[in-house]
Amino acid sequence: MTENEKLLARREAVVPRGVPRVTTATAVKGRGAVITDADGNELLDFAGGIGVMNAGHCQEAVVDAIRTQAGELLHACFHVATYEPYVELAEKLATLFPHHREGGEGTKVLLVNSGAEAVENAVKIARQATGRPAVICFSEAFHGRTLLGMSLTSKVTYKMGCGPFAPEIYRVPFPNHYARGEGHTPEAFATRELNRLRETFQTVVSADDVAAIIIEPVQGEGGFVPAPPGYLQGLREICDEHGIVLIFDEVQTGFCRTGRWAAYEHFGVIPDLSTWAKSMGGGLPIAAVIGRPEVMDAARPGTIGGTYGGNPVACASSLATIRLMEELDLNTRAMEVGDRIRARFEALAERTDVVGDVRGIGAMMAMELVEGGDPHRPATQLATAVTLTCLENGVLVIKSGPSGNVIRILSPLVITDEELDRGLTVIEDAVLLHVGAGSEAAVGATA
Ligand SMILES: Cc1ncc(COP(=O)(O)O)c(C=O)c1O
């Protein structure tokens, strides 16, 4: 038995099967964009611990900040004693993500431990701010695995048998132009979908009962699907018209992934509340709700927070990670990384019609694999085979999308061009290998 196999066997014996195991990789050590497994093999990390390692594994500045803070104060509970790392991180986030309206000032920040917890708290805050119960969310959305997070999450396999789910959740189709565009331009499609949302207020739930609309500006687990142009602006207008709190879930999109601190910057729309986690902590568990002060302060004392929220060591890690992102200008790097991935995926799409769509913003790039170029025939098995072959060839890459047929790239942004190109070649070769072996799709079908 290899060391990898031994570790996996120990896992199987003691860890419940409900905890997803999406690859057979193991990890002992991480540096930059490389993970070393239990057998000493080096893997190029194209998954980044699901979007957490934008700034790279074990960056010295981050590890030093963690060590230093650990030697000073591990925990005090911010409810009990105020400590500076929490306040400093909140100040930094308020500067990076100002949420106040024109002419207004001040942005407030709540720190919690995970993306799901951030989502839970954003909804609690929106309900208190509006005095209304309902929340509108989207098909293919992913907002976490707490009960409310799961209730807002779309994909059934994430929530099977876990109900009853939280009430007053209303789901509308995400404006996925590739899957549902039906020949409309992205702009016309956005208008049609906004009109459908307005109809929802007549037929499904009254706008007067809606506390919040929550949306990922670019869906993550849903398959790296950006909202079409004009859609988020339209949502902003609808929310303003009806006094609804607009929440952007930036847990996967945030902190340089799309080439900006926030994906919403690409769309020119500022939400009332936003949720953050993953790469914000540089590897330690920390998350945030950021929002307009009048909305954030609507939450009554005692209704938000938690024992560990904004732990000092996690705050120090986050502050050091953000500093590093600034120093390395990871937003610019994300655009370069994204351009390189897009060019390679598009070139692959020229060679085989199984690559139905290449999409994303910045380094949040993906390709959707389909049968015969048909958006409605997901090539799920092919995508799985591709990820397995990649792992055998030293590249850790994961899928997303409701049918698990989207190959997504979440590599650290500090990845070198050489590493990126090498990993992309492994992915390309894996697709071509399996297409060549498959019956339905053929290499060169569109050439
Ligand atoms: C958009 C989005 N929201 C929320 C979550 C949940 O975050 P966590 O796993 O930290 O609870 C995720 C996790 O993938 C996510 O992608």
Ligand 1 pocket check: which of 145, 153, 218, 278 to mutate, most ligand atoms within 8 Å of Cβ? 278
Please work out whether the CB of residue 259 comes within 6 Å of at least one atom of ligand 1.
no
Please work out whether the CB of residue 116 comes within 6 Å of at least one atom of ligand 1.
yes
Closest Cα to residue 427, out of 384, 367, 387?
A: 387
102 band by pLDDT with thresholds 50, 70 and 90:
confident
| Cα→Cα distances 363→162, 260, 331, Å | 34, 10, 9
Distance (angstroms) between ligand 1 centre and the Cα of 167 equals: 21
Ligand 1 pocket check: which of 137, 142, 280 to mutate, most ligand atoms within 8 Å of Cβ? 142
Atom 7 (ligand 1): residue with closest C-alpha? 115
Please work out whether the CB of residue 367 comes within 6 Å of at least one atom of ligand 1.
no
Tell me the mean pLDDT in the region 72-98. Answer: 98
Digit-coded pLDDT (tens) for 195-214: 999 999 999 999 999 999 99
Atom 16 (ligand 1): residue with closest C-alpha? 252
Please work out whether the CB of residue 143 comes within 6 Å of at least one atom of ligand 1.
yes
Please work out whether the CB of residue 251 comes within 6 Å of at least one atom of ligand 1.
yes
Please work out whether the CB of residue 410 comes within 6 Å of at least one atom of ligand 1.
no
pLDDT at 187 over 70: yes
- For 134, phi then psi, to 5°, come to -80, 150
In DSSP terms, 35 is beta-bridged to: 30, 43
Cβ of 196: how many Cβ atoms within 10 Å? 13
Rounded CA separation 8/11 (Å): 5
Distance (angstroms) between ligand 1 centre and the Cα of 41 equals: 29
105 band by pLDDT with thresholds 50, 70 and 90:
confident
Rounded CA separation 444/354 (Å): 10
State the closest ligand 1 atom to the C-alpha of 141, by its place in the atom list counted from 1.
1
Digit-coded pLDDT (tens) for 358-409: 999 999 999 999 999 999 999 999 999 999 999 999 999 999 999 999 999 9
Atom 4 (ligand 1): residue with closest C-alpha? 143
Closest Cα to residue 264, out of 233, 299, 305, 238?
A: 233
* Contact call for residues 56 and 282 (beta carbons, < 8 A): no
Atom 13 (ligand 1): residue with closest C-alpha? 144
Question: Residue 445's pLDDT is what?
Answer: 36
Cβ of 202: how many Cβ atoms within 10 Å? 9
pLDDT at 420 over 50: yes
State the closest ligand 1 atom to the C-alpha of 278, by its place in the atom list counted from 1.
10
Question: Residue 61's pLDDT is what?
Answer: 98
More confident residue, 438 or 298: 298
DSSP conformation letters of 358-405: EEEETTEEEEEEBGGG-TTSB-HHHHHHHHHHHHHTTEE-EEESTTS-
Question: Residue 441's pLDDT is what?
Answer: 43
State the closest ligand 1 atom to the C-alpha of 50, by its place in the atom list counted from 1.
14
Distance (angstroms) between ligand 1 centre and the Cα of 125 equals: 18
pLDDT at 100 over 90: no
Question: Residue 444's pLDDT is what?
Answer: 38
Digit-coded pLDDT (tens) for 256-312: 999 999 999 999 999 999 999 999 999 999 999 999 999 999 999 999 999 999 999
Please work out whether the CB of residue 121 comes within 6 Å of at least one atom of ligand 1.
no
Please work out whether the CB of residue 253 comes within 6 Å of at least one atom of ligand 1.
no
Tell me the mean pLDDT in the region 57-71. Answer: 98
Question: Residue 174's pLDDT is what?
Answer: 98
Digit-coded pLDDT (tens) for 211-244: 999 999 999 999 999 999 999 999 999 999 999 9
Q: Specify the fold of 65-327.
A: Aspartate Aminotransferase; domain 2 (3.40.640)
pLDDT at 52 over 50: yes
pLDDT at 182 over 70: yes
Tell me the mean pLDDT in the region 70-88. Answer: 98
Please work out whether the CB of residue 280 comes within 6 Å of at least one atom of ligand 1.
no
Distance (angstroms) between ligand 1 centre and the Cα of 242 equals: 28
Tell me the mean pLDDT in the region 5-22. Answer: 97
Question: Residue 183's pLDDT is what?
Answer: 94
- Scanning the structure block, which residue is given the tokens 């499904």? 204
pLDDT at 437 over 70: no
Distance (angstroms) between ligand 1 centre and the Cα of 417 equals: 28
Distance (angstroms) between ligand 1 centre and the Cα of 437 equals: 36
442 band by pLDDT with thresholds 50, 70 and 90:
very low
Please work out whether the CB of residue 221 comes within 6 Å of at least one atom of ligand 1.
yes
Which residues have C-beta within 8 Å of that of residue 28, sequence separation ≥ 6? 36, 37, 38
Average pLDDT of the chain is: 96
Please work out whether the CB of residue 245 comes within 6 Å of at least one atom of ligand 1.
no
State the closest ligand 1 atom to the C-alpha of 119, by its place in the atom list counted from 1.
4
Distance (angstroms) between ligand 1 centre and the Cα of 171 equals: 18
pLDDT at 440 over 60: no
pLDDT at 113 over 80: yes
Question: Residue 101's pLDDT is what?
Answer: 76
Q: Which amino acid is present at 230?
A: G
